[in-house]
Amino acid sequence: MKKLIITIDGPAASGKEKIAKYISKKWKLNHLDSGILYRRLALIFLIENIDFKSIHKIKNKLKEIRQISFRNSKKIRTQVISKLASKIAVHNCVRNFVNKFQYNFVNKNKKMRGFVIDGRDIGSVVFKKADLKLYIDVNPEIRAKRRYKQLIDSGEKSIYPKILRDIKLRDKQDKLRKHSPLIIPKGSHIINNNGRFKDTVNQINILLDKI
Ligand code: C5P
């Protein structure tokens, strides 16, 4: 049986995770957050003090890594890891490495009905032929406010203007990079997530009902 693939792309803190969780629960699909894989690599590079500007050192380290955990955790959600993940994600060798894990994840889970995968290049590069592609749109100020609240709630010290600056910087890095930049994927539906989650869900349900 053909597996259903739903892709969710969008900028940092646009609510992709919450939307992916909603869809995966409603449709009993497996959820893969590709950002976790970039964050996990960033954490390894940080702990092992790998010079992330040196392609040679990055490639050597990638050769040693056999497995990356798909598990979310507080230690990969810090601002330091967010920024570092975005920096290492510019390298094609890192992207190919992460994509391999994503393809394995989808291919090995044969019993699953399908997958919801979120990230920056999922509908444009990784799963171009997905059954449904969503692009989440939220203005930077609202994203920064939501991220600020999230960090404060989780006990991290946080300053709103700094969060906004970091979000804008990550947007720039993600949109302007040479390999797999963040774009609105061809054939995707733009979901406005500036307002209440209820309104976002309404837009999504209309699309889900048409699959
Ligand atoms: O989605 P999240 O904020 O967890 O992703 C962390 C960083 O990983 C992003 O800022 C982006 O640079 C990178 N990323 C990416 N492609 C993806 C997922 C994440 O480049 N598919």
Residue 61: pLDDT over 90: yes
pLDDT of residue 156: 81
pLDDT of residue 33: 97
pLDDT one-digit tens code per residue, 13-50: 999 999 999 999 999 999 999 999 999 999 999 999 99
- The rounded Å distance from CA 35 to ligand 1 centre is 4
- 100-121: average pLDDT: 92
40 lines ligand 1 (CB under 6 A): no
User: Cα separation of 93 and 79, whole Å?
Assistant: 23
Lowest mean pLDDT among 10-14, 63-67, 155-159, 201-205: 155-159
Sequence ranges of the domains in the chain: 4-208
Mutate to test the pocket of ligand 1, among 17, 38, 43, 121 (most ligand atoms within 8 A of CB): 38
- Using CA positions, which residue lies closest to atom 9 of ligand 1? 86
Average pLDDT, the chain: 95
Mutate to test the pocket of ligand 1, among 21, 34, 72 (most ligand atoms within 8 A of CB): 34
User: Position of tokens 């003090």?
Assistant: 49
- 164-177: average pLDDT: 94
pLDDT of residue 64: 96
User: Cα separation of 122 and 180, whole Å?
Assistant: 9
- The rounded Å distance from CA 119 to ligand 1 centre is 6
pLDDT of residue 158: 86
User: Cα separation of 30 and 102, whole Å?
Assistant: 12
DSSP string for 3-38? PEEEEEE-STTSSHHHHHHHHHHHHT-EEEEHHHHH
User: Cα separation of 163 and 143, whole Å?
Assistant: 9
pLDDT of residue 86: 93
150: Cβ–Cβ under 8 A, 6 or more apart, which residues?
13
- 117-140: average pLDDT: 98
pLDDT of residue 111: 81
Max Cα–Cα distance, the chain, nearest Å: 49
89 lines ligand 1 (CB under 6 A): yes
- 6-11: average pLDDT: 98
Band (1; pLDDT cuts 50, 70, 90): low
- Using CA positions, which residue lies closest to atom 12 of ligand 1? 86
pLDDT of residue 140: 98
Instruction: Compute φ and ψ for 6, nearest 5 degrees.
Output: -120, 125
User: Cα separation of 114 and 109, whole Å?
Assistant: 9
Residues facing residue 5 across a β-bridge: 115
Assigned superfamily of 4-208: P-loop containing nucleotide triphosphate hydrolases (3.40.50.300)
In this prediction the pTM is: 0.95
> Hey, what amino acid is at 109?
N
Residue 88: pLDDT over 90: yes
3-state secondary structure of 120: coil
